[in-house]
Chain A
Amino acid sequence: MLGLDKKDTTLLIVVAVLALFAPFILNPFPTGSAMAQFNAGYPDLMQRFVIFGIFAIGFNILFGLTGYLSFGHAAFLGVGSYAAVWMFKLLGYNVVPGIILSVIVAGIFALVIGYISLRRSGIYFSILTLAFAQMSFAMAYSVLTPITNGETGLQVYSSDTPIFQSATDPTVPHLFGLVMRETYTMKAGAWSFDFNYGYYLCAIILLVAFYISIRIFRSPFGLMLRAVKSNQQRMNYTGLSARPYTLAAFVISGMYAGLAGGLLASMDPLAGAERMQWTASGEVVLMTILGGAGTLIGPILGAGFIKYFENIFSKINETTLHGWFSWLPDPIEDPLVWLLEHFVGGGWSLTLGALFMLVVIFLPGGLVEGGQRLGRMVRGKAKKTEPDTGKSAATSHPAE
């Protein structure tokens, strides 16, 4: 289907189903129940899942395929956000020009930074990208305040006079009148599910982005990128110039980042400088590695994992814990709550850090590897009698 082989089609369908039914899947617990804390199916977080998924997918096109580890990708995210908010300020709240411009601006920005940084490889490249991003961040925070509104963040003021904003248009981001923040809440017994326009716009864009990324992975271009990662020397002596390939990958992934930035701004029309800080760049690196660099679906999983912890675990507090364990006798409840408290609320990053370690120690290859192992365990039972044919096992599909 769509020019994909069977396996990739299945993967695409799985992602599509997950994305379209996310409001159900992510809200498995009845509202008001003790476990409702773990529900992630509210518009903002669902949007973040897919937006950061897009960001990570794009990052993976560069890192997963070419092995070039950019430590400055957040700069493109930030630039994309600024571009989109400026479109709201100048043209009006329709998200289309904002999203288009964010992709274009990020692409140009990536072209410039990539052109310079790609003169070096390995860690030298990483540090060059880091340096550019940190410079962008520092300037956005201070001297570029007229453009970026500094620490406060760029936003649309009522004193702005967008050209195409008519009196009847909504004064929040919308897609031809479809307001991004509007949510239809479906109640089904104790459960409730949120269907948000903005989320579905993001989800559809994610599917397109994911589809394009599959195509890139399977294309001759993708093959060349993997060749770059594997042996640049051989590539050069085979008559291929590695630079344009890596630059193209860099720009494409920069455009993905810009798209993510534009979508962030479209869901929530504010762009802050800290989106460009190295911690933000580091986050997408972690997402990709955690999910499984070089795999198709890994980055999406990684993005979901980190955002889930950031948003769900950070909100659990002592009172919530007491709520859960109130059925226990006090002498057990209090120490238990005391212990767990360290891992939730302000301690969410402790949990995340520990999970990073556990995942990477026990699942080299990231969450995807975990999934594969699980799959193998299930399937392995059936095939157990088959003899191990040795060498054939050495075959691997690096781009699964």
Chain B
Amino acid sequence: MGILEVKNVNKRFGGLQALSNVNLSVAENTVHAIIGPNGAGKSTLLNVLVGKLIPDTGSVMFDGQSVLGRAPYEINQMGISRVFQTPEIFGDLTVMENMMIPCFAKRDGAFELNALTTVGRQSDIVDRAEQMLIDMKMIDKRHMHAASMSRGDKRRLEIGMCLSQQPRLLLLDEPTAGMARADTNNTIDLLKQIKAERDITIAIIEHDMHVVFSLAERITVLAQGTPLVEDTPDKIKGHPKVREAYLGESA
């Protein structure tokens, strides 16, 4: 019984069956990768998990509780954080402020009317956000306007924001896309380090096989909305169908 159990999920968009009978079980404290061709339905599956989409049928259980029908913020409060495919950050705010917001969410919950305290004096939050920026090697950019960062930096910031919430399940949708090689490696190291330090389950979608194979303990291959195979990285690498449909010769 994994921490995340997806059973018989179906989702249609008009004439397109984006997800058909998806079953997926993610074991606690593992890194589980989901790979598959473009348009296979990976992001759609993630959207179902975080409450952005409601599936037509099926169930999604997180730690024994159903996530379906809950608002995204409630799902997040259960301990699921998500990094998006196109960076979703607070563009109008500074990097530091971006980092503080998840810290507040973690501490105060979904809503707290603390209108008469001052942000700068919440030392626990400030410390935590700063620590996270240091971990992400972004502390020198703390006063920068988040929107004016390059895309790679935005993505790193977003990962940092999710991590600072100390989620139990972290969903990463192509976290290293467009990231420089060095930073990709940094990110891999960071994820590994976090993985080592605390209990966290990670589900990752990635097209960069370097990332997938360095991190994943199990891999699910999704194609045309259905899981094709699920196995260990080594097995997947050699799987002929996967090679043909997805990896190509260069893998």
Contact = CB atoms under 8 A, between A and B. Distances in A.
Direct contact of A and B (CB under 8 A): yes
A244 interface: yes
A245 interface: yes
B86 to A, nearest CB: 10
A238 B119 contact: no
Contacts of A207: none
Nearest to A245: B111
A248 B101 contact: no
Given A234-B89, A394-B144, A215 B76 contact: no
Contacts of A239: 73, 76-77, 102, 105-106, 109-110, 165
Interface stretch (B22-30, B59-67, B90-98): B90-98
B250 interface: no
A238 B105 contact: yes
A3 B102 CA distance: 24
Contact of B145 (A229, A233, A235, A394): A394
B90 A230 contact: yes
What's the dominant secondary structure at chain A's contact region?
helix
Contacts of B109: 239
B11 interface: no
Contact of A233 (B88, B105, B118): B88
A353 interface: no
Interface stretch (A81-89, A111-119, A217-225, A339-347): A217-225
A236 B112 CA distance: 14
Contacts of A238: 73, 76, 81, 101-102, 105, 161, 165
A212 interface: yes
A241 B143 contact: no
A398 interface: yes
A221 B100 CA distance: 12
Contacts of A222: 115, 119
Contacts of A215: 115-116, 118
Interface in B106-131: 106, 108-122, 125
A220 B92 CA distance: 16
B72 interface: yes
A252 B116 CA distance: 13
B31 to A, nearest CB: 20
A229 B92 contact: yes
Contact of B101 (A212, A218, A223): A223
A234 B94 CA distance: 15
A219 B114 contact: yes
Contacts of B106: 239
A230 B91 contact: yes
A128 B113 CA distance: 25
A241 B104 CA distance: 12
Contact of B119 (A220, A244, A245, A395): A220
Interface string B127-147: 000000000000000011100
Contact of B112 (A212, A216, A220, A237): A220
A320 to B, nearest CB: 47
A399 to B, nearest CB: 10
A240 interface: yes
Contacts of A230: 90-93
Given A218-B119, A219-B114, A244-B111, A231 B91 contact: yes
Interface residues of A, number: 37
B71 interface: yes
A221 B115 contact: yes
A239 B77 CA distance: 5
B144 A395 contact: yes
B82 interface: yes
A398 B119 contact: no
Contact of A5 (B50, B100, B102, B120): B120
B127 to A, nearest CB: 15
Interface in B164-182: 165
A226 B92 contact: yes
A220 B103 CA distance: 11
Given A238-B165, A239-B102, A212 B90 contact: no
Contact of B118 (A212, A219, A224, A236): A219
A240 B90 contact: no
Contacts of A398: 92-93
A20 interface: no
B214 interface: no
Given A223-B119, A237-B72, A395 B90 contact: no
7 contacts: A3-B121, A215-B115, A220-B114, A223-B104, A224-B104, A238-B76, A244-B110
Given A219-B118, A220-B114, 8 more contacts: A215-B116, A219-B114, A222-B119, A234-B161, A237-B50, A238-B81, A238-B165, A394-B145
Q: What are the 10 A-B residue pairs with the smallest beta carbon separation, nearest first?
A: A239-B76, A230-B90, A221-B115, A230-B92, A244-B111, A236-B72, A239-B105, A234-B88, A241-B110, A395-B143
